[in-house]
Structure 1
Amino acid sequence: MSARRRRDTEGVVVIGLGRFGCHLATSLTQLGHEVLAIDRNPDRVQKWSPTLDRVVQADATEVGALRQLGLADFARVVVAIGASVEASVLSVLGLAELGVPQIWARATSEQHARILAAVGAQQVIFPEAETGERVAHLIVSRMLDYIEFGDDFAIAKVRAPEALFGRTLRELGPIDRYGVMVVGAKLPGEPFRYAAGDTVLAPGSILIVEGSIEQVQRFAALT
């Protein structure tokens, strides 16, 4: 039996350095993650080389080029190509062939999104509706959804941590212990409701929490 491949779970690959891709790559870098950026346009490669960790000129539609760059060893790759539907689809197809476990892809239309999902993209994003910074937070954390208000306040949707199952919010004291307020809860088989002190968390529960950006991210990481 061959040894299991050791994947890079910290670094993120961004394919395409257009308007969305460059902002996403920059935001990921600011969050402290190593970024491998790929674009076939030499002018873009030259422009972003001083800013990003590693920028490579390559044709991401060629699976051989992706393999040569070692993308099979990365856990997360974002296809940020927007100008060419064909190029984005072929890039996702190549990444799926390499077995990349998390493939995020930019879509420019609903039809484009369906094609990307069909060929292997696990997450399809529409940058017109979501900024690169917000997507960066979702990629590198365990939050299910995320809205940032100002510089230091956020509301997030997260899975209830397993360690909190079977206890009421009053017992858990999330504000004192984790610095976050649980404002809503969706228990299995029920709709979202405002959280109360006697709300008991069960496996499969989804929570809406608010607090500072750092506190919300830390709470989400408990899952």
Structure 2
Amino acid sequence: MSARRADSGGIVVIGLGRFGCHLAGSLTRMNREVLAIDRSPAKVQRWSAQLDRVVQADATEEGALRQLGISSFGRAVVAIGASVEASVLTVLALVELGVPQIWARATSQKHAKILASVGAHHVIFPEAETGDRVAHLIVSRLLDFIEFDDDFAIATVRVPESLVGRTLLELKPEERFGVRVVGAKLPGERFRYTSDDTTLPQGGVLIVEGGIDQVQQFAGMR
């Protein structure tokens, strides 16, 4: 455990369903200290070989979480999706323990309102967010896509053939297309920040930011 980064006391992931186990695994691969908790002995046994620390416990019980030292962790993610009651009670227990950052998975807008009202600092909709992202990728020429609030997105796109060999100073993408090109990558190389002198490369990939429609239109140029 000493090799893991424990900034802010590490991260607790509660609930080892599909979302929770993937989240815990990703955090572990990022070299973070992770404590995974589930009430199911079968799930705990299944993931104990792949995660650093997996514990069987009823996370709705404040006393059980206290015994595990959860109050020393800086962040907790309530990934429970099967039971609204269990997720809400778990958030309440974490609030009582004074965990500074509580993230909670919601399965509906009503569920989200309840989680926020009892003390969750961040409420997430992983299925809905993934569905929106995949939908954009299916219907456009985007390689990857992240949507933010207020109609703003960052995406990776292939350099449109009609723009190959031209500089950003010449193209003025913000004026002409309503997007900003912030990074460029040649095949086999790493992404680099762009400048006015950057020439758009054949077969290259760009990082583009702007309005969702504008980003999609830019990616669809021939």
**TM-score (normalizing by structure 1):** 0.58
Aligned to 2:81: 82
Runs of 4+ in 1 over 2 A off after TM superposition: 154-157, 208-216
State the secondary structure of the residue aligned to 1:61: coil
Aligned to 1:29: 28
Matched, 1:66 2:65: yes
The alignment of Structure 1 onto Structure 2 pairs a total of residues equal to: 147
Aligned residues: CA RMSD? 3.1
Gap regions ≥5 residues in structure 2: 1-5, 134-141, 149-172, 194-222
Shift of 1:104: 0.2
Inter-CA distance 91–8: structure 2 relative to 1 (3 Å threshold): farther
**Residue deviations 1:106-138, cap 9 Å, x none?**
00000000000000101001110345xx9xxxx
State the secondary structure of the residue aligned to 2:8: coil
Inter-CA distance 67–215: structure 2 relative to 1 (3 Å threshold): farther
Aligned to 2:49: 50
Gap regions ≥5 residues in structure 1: 1-6, 135-147, 158-182, 185-192, 196-207, 217-223
Shift of 1:17: 0.1
Q: Kindly provide the amino acid, as one letter, of the partner of residue 50 in structure 2.
A: T
**Residue deviations 1:23-80, cap 9 Å, x none?**
1111111112121000000000000000001000000000011111111111110000
Contact 2:34 2:53 (8 Å CA) reproduced? yes
Distance 2:11 2:18 in 1: 18
Aligned to 1:14: 13
State the secondary structure of the residue aligned to 1:60: coil
Distance 1:215 1:120 in 2: 41
Distance 1:63 1:8 in 2: 23
User: Alignment identity in percent?
Assistant: 67
State the secondary structure of the residue aligned to 1:77: strand
**TM-score (normalizing by structure 2):** 0.58
Aligned to 1:95: 94
Aligned to 1:117: 116
Inter-CA distance 41–155: structure 2 relative to 1 (3 Å threshold): closer
Determine which structure has more spread, i.e. the larger CA radius of gyration: 2
**Residue deviations 1:69-108, cap 9 Å, x none?**
1111111100000000000000000101111110000000
